């Protein structure tokens, strides 16, 4: 099969790889219908993460079950499925508590920017859609695999309530998905922090009521101004830097919540600042599996269209262009079709 | 009147002070029926906080309203009242959101280890009991003013649920009150971390089902052992040191919550550790005012008896002894009666 391999920073190639095979009786092989490039794929691409030799890449996927291991009973060949970027058994105590990305048997899915992929723990991981989806729904369903699921978790972790006031820090695909999640969860006011016109536009399409272009102290001051000096009920931190985290915490009202899904890079939280702020914090790798049934339903009923984050669609053999477009911020997010 | 003044580390004295007077039309003067020494009073007493000249001390109180300012309509002379250690208007956005210790007009109450005290923002701050309480209820009502209200907030911030598993880090008066709060909120299993026999006993009286004497890594290992490798749903951090905070976070299950009420001294939370733990954090100065009506009701109906944290009761003129007893851990908490 053809599959994407990252060799070095800036060097991704579509190559011929062995077809994946069932390794464990709980595996499934999925024929990829659509995959995409994640913001986190850009870390090794930009040299921020070490690359220990050539390796397959990609962890977002929708597709059709091709084959299942002998223990798999929940999905069958021919079904259209979506799964999280973390495979989980969905039965351990952490899964049952709704934190499938902390599953006691979790495995990270990888190698999705390919024609086929092996998904471990298929019964726990894969969710079949209600029938074959219309082609127009593919981008939105693909978005659920990570980016929209992650934005959704940010909103849930920040305890977004109907009628609430929300700030979203970060205007990448996850932040924009967070805006959409806040809207779907009934937030009345959604303040998107963004200084890029195309992203501001998409934020508005997704439900942002206000755009704040200022950052840091000025950004916080603007949020306080917009909220009558009170601060936001919920803040979604979708970047992962120290500046973004500080900005998020200062934008929340006392008793408000910050949901943080940007993987922290050098983030340090002084205990006394957090104490005196009265702000609640929860973050982590989004337990996308928890949300999939609900989110699939929202896409199928047309309630939301998270696929709009894909502003570039390319055939899989142009995967290198897809990375370049995101690296240079020419694209928000690249969809790839084998 | 007679009132306690701290002069220097280890030097508290009962002195003759001017009677407090109504300064603002929203003030009340309360005749103290009972007051006590707080763990936080020991900071200046031990030289951990600077003392800028002789100053009155004490912030926990129950008493009878003696006089009210012309704008006060919610309480009247003769009523038995309790208030938080932070005066709040109870009408600003932060108060209405339940975070009265972040009130936009908050004032710290001080000088309670005296015969009389001036309470600012009396309408927002003071809660009258349903009639004159029986003398036997005084210690429990006094506990609501800070220590029990703080333990309660720790449990609420840690989202203690009926049937849940709870760990309490810290066996001071606040931690012990946290055990009682967890019990009242319906926790099924309550693991108290304590190595002091008298405190272990009180923890059991308050509802602890397990005692763990180990600390640090060994303490966490023991909690995991007791919870089938899962961790606790809720952890109450009632100390405020780095070690206690780390221990608390590691004792919580993924998706669990840490409520932290120990005022942080040098606590630093690495963002990535918090991220990958999936643990939620909320802390701060307990918004005691939010809980007072409910807690007063629980004391009056005999549902709980938080006054048991007072294992030493002295007349106010022995205040210096009361401090010494707590400083040397001879007493858990000292009640003082003018």
> Does residue A44 sit in the same domain as residue A108?
yes
Residues B321 and B230 in one domain: no
Domain identity same for A166 and A118: no
Closest Cα of chain A to B280: distance in Å? Answer: 4
Do A21 and A97 belong together in one domain? Answer: yes
- B120 and B154 part of one domain: no
Burial-class residue B50 by CB neighbours within 10 Å (0-12, 13-18, 19+): exposed
Instruction: Note whether B127 and B250 are same-domain residues.
Output: no
Q: In DSSP terms, which residues pair with A62 in a beta bridge?
A: A34, A82
Residues A156 and A208 in one domain: yes
Contact check, Cβ <8 Å, B278/A102: yes
The sign of the torsion formed by the CA atoms of B321, B322, B324, B329 equals positive
B281-320 pLDDT, tens digit each:
999 999 999 999 999 999 999 999 999 999 999 999 999 9
- Give dist(CA B148, CA A179) in Å, integer: 40
| Alpha helices, DSSP H, located in chain B | 42-45, 93-96, 122-125, 138-144, 147-157, 173-184, 197-206, 216-226, 242-251, 271-277, 288-300, 319-327
Cβ–Cβ contact B169 with A under 8 A: no
Q: Which helix (H) or strand (E) holds A83?
A: strand A80-83
Q: Is A263 on the interface with B (CB under 8 A)?
A: yes
Question: A148 CB near a chain B CB, below 8 Å?
Answer: no
d(CA B272, CA B276): 6
**Percentage with pLDDT > 70 across chain B:** 100
What CATH number does residue A328 fall under? 3.90.180.10
B184 lies in the same domain as B102: no
d(CA B179, CA B192): 7
Distance from CA of B150 to the nearest CA of A (A): 13
Structural domain for B318, as ranges: 2-146+287-336
Distance from CA of A326 to the nearest CA of B (A): 25
Mutate to test the interface with A, among B154, B278, B288 (most CBs of A within 10 A): B278
B215 and B295, same domain (yes or no):
no
Pair (B305, B323) in one structural domain: yes
ipTM of the complex model: 0.96
Interface test with B, best of A40, A227, A245, A271 (most B CBs within 10 A): A271
The mean predicted confidence, pLDDT, of chain A is 97
CATH number at residue B270: 3.40.50.720
- Is residue A152 located within the same domain as residue A232? yes
- Give chain B's domain count: 2
Is A157's CB within 8 Å of B280's CB? yes
Which residues from chain B sit within 8 angstroms of residue A283, using beta carbons?
274-275, 278
Model confidence over A296-310: pLDDT tens digits?
Answer: 999 999 999 999 999
Model confidence over A162-201: pLDDT tens digits?
A: 999 999 999 999 999 999 999 999 999 999 999 999 999 9
Residue A267 and residue B267: Cβ atoms within 8 Å?
Answer: no
Chain B CB within 8 Å of residue A74 CB: no
Under an 8 A CB cutoff, do B102 and A263 touch? no
* Confidence label for B50 from pLDDT (cuts 50, 70 and 90): confident
Q: How far apart are CA B85 and CA A12, in angstroms?
A: 61
> Token match 């909320």: residue?
B282
Token pair belonging to B108: 């710290």
Which residues of chain B make contact with A93, given a CB cutoff of 8 A?
A: 228, 230, 253
pLDDT at A48: 84
Does the CB of A134 have a partner CB in chain B at under 8 Å? no
Please tell me the distance from the alpha carbon of residue A317 to that of residue A323, in angstroms, as a whole number: 12
Chain B partners within 8 Å of A255 (Cβ): 94, 97-99, 102, 287
Same domain, B182 and B237: yes
């Amino acid at each position: 099969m053809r599959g994407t391999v990252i060799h070095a920073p800036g060097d991704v190639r579509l190559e011929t790889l062995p077809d994946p095979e069932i390794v464990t009786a709980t595996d499934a092989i999925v024929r990829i219908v659509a995959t995409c490039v994640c913001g986190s794929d850009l870390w090794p691409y930009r040299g921020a993460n070490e690359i220990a030799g050539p390796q397959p890449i990609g962890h977002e996927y929708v597709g059709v079950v091709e084959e299942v291991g002998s223990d798999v009973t929940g999905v069958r060949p021919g079904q259209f499925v979506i799964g999280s970027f973390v495979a989980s058994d969905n039965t351990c105590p952490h899964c049952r508590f709704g934190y499938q990305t902390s599953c006691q048997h979790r495995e990270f899915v990888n190698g999705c920017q390919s024609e086929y992929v092996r998904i471990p723990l298929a019964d726990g991981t894969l969710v079949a859609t209600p029938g074959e989806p219309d082609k127009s729904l593919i981008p939105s369903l693909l978005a659920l695999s990570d980016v929209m699921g992650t934005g959704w978790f940010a909103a849930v972790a920040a305890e977004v309530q109907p009628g609430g006031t929300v700030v979203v820090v970060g205007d990448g695909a996850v932040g924009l998905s967070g805006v959409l999640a806040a809207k779907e969860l009934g937030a009345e006011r959604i303040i998107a922090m963004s200084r890029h016109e195309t992203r501001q536009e998409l934020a508005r399409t997704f439900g942002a009521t206000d755009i704040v272009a200022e950052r840091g102290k000025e950004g916080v001051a603007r949020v306080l101004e917009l909220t009558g000096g009170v601060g936001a009920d919920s803040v979604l931190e979708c970047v992962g830097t120290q500046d973004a985290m500080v900005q998020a915490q200062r934008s929340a009202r006392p008793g408000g919540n910050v949901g943080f899904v940007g993987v922290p890079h050098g983030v340090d939280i002084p205990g006394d600042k957090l104490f005196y702020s009265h702000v609640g914090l929860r973050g982590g790798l989004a337990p996308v599996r928890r949300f999939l049934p609900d989110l699939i339903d929202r896409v199928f009923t047309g309630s939301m269209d998270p696929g709009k984050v894909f502003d570039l669609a390319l055939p899989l053999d142009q995967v290198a262009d897809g990375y370049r477009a995101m690296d240079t911020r020419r694209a928000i997010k690249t969809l790839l079709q084998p």
